[in-house]
Chain A
Amino acid sequence: MDITFLLQLIINGLVVGSIYALVATGFVIIYKASSALNLAQGEFLMVGAYICLNLLSKYNLPFWQAILITFAFSAILGILIERLILRPLIGSHLISVIMVTLGLSSILKALVQLAYGTDTIPFPEVFPSAPVQIGPIPVSQGYLYAIGCVTILVTVLTMFFKYSKTGVAMRATASSQQVALTMGISVKKMFAISWAISAIVSAVGGILLGTIRGGIDMSLSFMGLKVLPVVILGGLDSILGAIVGGVIIGVLENLSGGYVDPLVGGGAKEVAPYIALILILMFKPYGLFGKKKIERV
């Protein structure tokens, strides 16, 4: 076996996986706070990437300004969606929530398509792309920056949940809404904040994907479905699980792309995460770090 090839695959997997981890974190934040399954997560990512691209290439803003405006836009988008669409559905049946987020994903996809068309648009180079040599293998600098960004963001999020007042209030809401209410926490506000954070985190994922791939198109929204195996593997209500799961699924995807695809003639890379999903549901339905709810009917 060619060890360089294997390492190359693993590094690619780590990079893609770290972005999966980001999007999955966004997914888990919403699920933890409000038990809503957001199937429009991939569209948040796509919208964020397109907005940032627009700011960079059309208005020629410096990168940090573009990022800040994108964050503000994503946060407003998340809060609006929570306020207008998800809040009236609190307490309603699961299928309503699933379907409303699917409808939302249709709307966001259609709006992006109306505004930008379906062609791939090149993404301006934000990070230097010249490869650096790590041991025997060349690695694109963009990859390293991406992993760095994800690490920083995850650390910031962890600190936020651990030490800030809002973060603690959000954790309280996740563990028991009633107790949180009696402690004077506005649960509705926490829901809104969780959607805002989730949208921002996804936007970061979108921007990173854009810089790594060098261009963005509608297929970015597919990320939202890719992330489902990740959250199932990690456990739906665990941020740590989302990160670990993201990396595992990313590496698994690239390994099966490298070793199984030549045998079956392509396609294994795309389907491997879903096979993993089924296996996880069969043997460990609450994932690696998820809270177990025992219910036997």
Chain B
Amino acid sequence: MRCGDFKTSYSADMTIFESNSARVMLGLFLCLLFSLPLYTPGYLLDIVNRIGIAVIGAIGLNILTGFTGQISLGNAAFMAIGAFSSGYFGTKFGMPFYLCIPLAGLTTAFFGMFVGIPSLRIKGLYLAMATLAAHFIVEFLIVKWESVTGGVAGLSIPAPKLGSFAFDTDVRLFFLIFVITVMAVLFAKNLFRTKVGKAFVAIRDQAISAEVMGVNILKYKLLSFGISSFYVGVAGALMAYQAKIISPETFPVTVAIDYLGMIIIGGLGSILGSIYGAVFITLLPELLRLSTSALAGSFPLLVAKLAAMKELIFGLIVVIFILFEPAGMASRWHSIKSYWKLYPFSH
């Protein structure tokens, strides 16, 4: 019976799959995931798609905030930049989606690095405020720059097309979104096995030591902003395809708070945690809606209060997680797993 951590080499510590059964489990999970459209009705699939997009966005934010320790409140603005640039390239130049999405990611990455430049001088809460200010400035620009963004009316996004095949239904979009999501998870998981990812973590843990060890802080901070914003931009572009119409109101500052909530609840500095958090926060309003519509007969007032209820429960969960499980769901999952692994001899 395994009763501890018996890793003897660096590569054993870095490995993604600890055993072959983990590989098999992941394979089974992927099979299950990609067969979802077979037995999921349209409305639920729409939620699943939103979860996929949220996973990409949450991983992006976690790379910056959880792994590199740079707090960003500008996530919604980055997402908006991704969505509008993808929409612009698609509608004005007629580019296909497989160019639009990476270009949207690159545009956002460029912008993110621009916002990240002051991060060398300012840090912590000052950076949080700077990114918040960036959010409002971007929102203002999106409203004003009508020739590109369509202003207050927004842009309507045509369905992505591959040849004559259009991703115009939830099922088709599901495959587009989840192929990208799986790629995003894989890249992020591997990023933190490389020099770059370790530099990020070193900057988060102790910036001065990292600098002494030869990590070029500015370079890696900017890189972190770049990679993170690329993810968020891609998520924004996918969101545009899914929502079909985007306007400045699609990306309020509460979206940024929701994403921060995802990575806090899921687990800062954990890829798995970002996924848990994204699933949880995306499902929360849907579960609430389901439960209130079930109770609507006896409590008709509940439906009107749905938005407030969602906000209340979101706030409560965030506060409870920070107070009682600051490492998030990922760590809770880990401790449950190891408890049962050692059961009944936990000591």
Q: Which residues of B are found within 8 Å of A268, using beta-carbon distances?
A: 140
The answer to whether B319 touches A277, judged by C-beta atoms less than 8 angstroms apart, is no
Residue A264 is within 8 A (CB to CB) of chain B in the complex: yes
Q: A99-B260, A103-B319, A104-B315 are in contact. Are A281 and B126 (CB under 8 A)?
A: yes
Residue B179 is within 8 A (CB to CB) of chain A in the complex: no
Which residue from A37, A95, A297 sits with its C-beta under 8 Å from B207? A297
Residue A110 is within 8 A (CB to CB) of chain B in the complex: yes
Question: Of all chain A residues, which has the CB nearest B217?
Answer: A297
Query: What 1/0 flags go to A275-289 for Cβ under 8 Å of B?
Result: 101100110010000
The answer to whether B137 touches A271, judged by C-beta atoms less than 8 angstroms apart, is yes
CA distance A89 to B310 in the complex (A): 25
The answer to whether A277 touches B308, judged by C-beta atoms less than 8 angstroms apart, is no
Q: Which of A124-132, A165-173, A205-213, A225-233 contacts B (4 or more CB under 8 A)?
A: A225-233
User: In terms of DSSP, what is the predominant structure of the interface of chain A?
Assistant: helix
Which residue from B139, B211, B307, B318 sits with its C-beta under 8 Å from A102? B318
Question: Of all chain B residues, which has the CB nearest A231?
Answer: B129
Residue A85 is within 8 A (CB to CB) of chain B in the complex: yes
Which residue from B130, B208, B261 sits with its C-beta under 8 Å from A278? B130
CA distance A221 to B71 in the complex (A): 22
Query: What 1/0 flags go to B139-150 for Cβ under 8 Å of A?
Result: 110011000000
Question: Of all chain B residues, which has the CB nearest A279?
Answer: B133
Residue A114 is within 8 A (CB to CB) of chain B in the complex: yes
The answer to whether A85 touches B133, judged by C-beta atoms less than 8 angstroms apart, is no
Distance (whole angstroms) from the CB of B101 to the closest CB of chain A: 29
The answer to whether B137 touches A297, judged by C-beta atoms less than 8 angstroms apart, is no
The answer to whether A278 touches B134, judged by C-beta atoms less than 8 angstroms apart, is yes
The answer to whether B312 touches A107, judged by C-beta atoms less than 8 angstroms apart, is yes
Query: What 1/0 flags go to A77-100 for Cβ under 8 Å of B?
Result: 000000001001100101110111
The answer to whether A110 touches B309, judged by C-beta atoms less than 8 angstroms apart, is yes
Distance (whole angstroms) from the CB of A44 to the closest CB of chain B: 15
Q: What number of residue pairs across chains A and B have CB atoms under 8 A from each other?
A: 120
Q: A96-B326, A113-B311, A297-B211 are in contact. Are A107 and B316 (CB under 8 A)?
A: yes
Which residue from A100, A106, A282 sits with its C-beta under 8 Å from B257? A106
The answer to whether B312 touches A277, judged by C-beta atoms less than 8 angstroms apart, is no
Question: Of all chain A residues, which has the CB nearest B207?
Answer: A297
Distance (whole angstroms) from the CB of B320 to the closest CB of chain A: 9
The answer to whether A95 touches B311, judged by C-beta atoms less than 8 angstroms apart, is no
Which residue from B126, B143, B261, B305 sits with its C-beta under 8 Å from A114? B305
Which residue from A98, A105, A275 sits with its C-beta under 8 Å from B125? A98
Which residue from B207, B307, B309, B318 sits with its C-beta under 8 Å from A99? B318
Q: List, sorted by A's number, 9 A–B pairs whose CB atoms are closer than 8 Å.
A: A102-B257, A103-B314, A104-B315, A106-B312, A107-B316, A111-B312, A278-B133, A278-B134, A297-B207
Residue positions of A touching B, CB distance < 8 A = 37, 85, 88-89, 92, 94-96, 98-100, 102-107, 109-111, 113-114, 225, 228-229, 232, 236, 264-265, 267-268, 270-271, 274-275, 277-278, 281-282, 285, 297
List 7 other contacts, CB 8 Å, given A102-B260, A103-B322, A106-B311: A85-B323, A105-B315, A106-B318, A107-B319, A109-B308, A277-B133, A281-B118
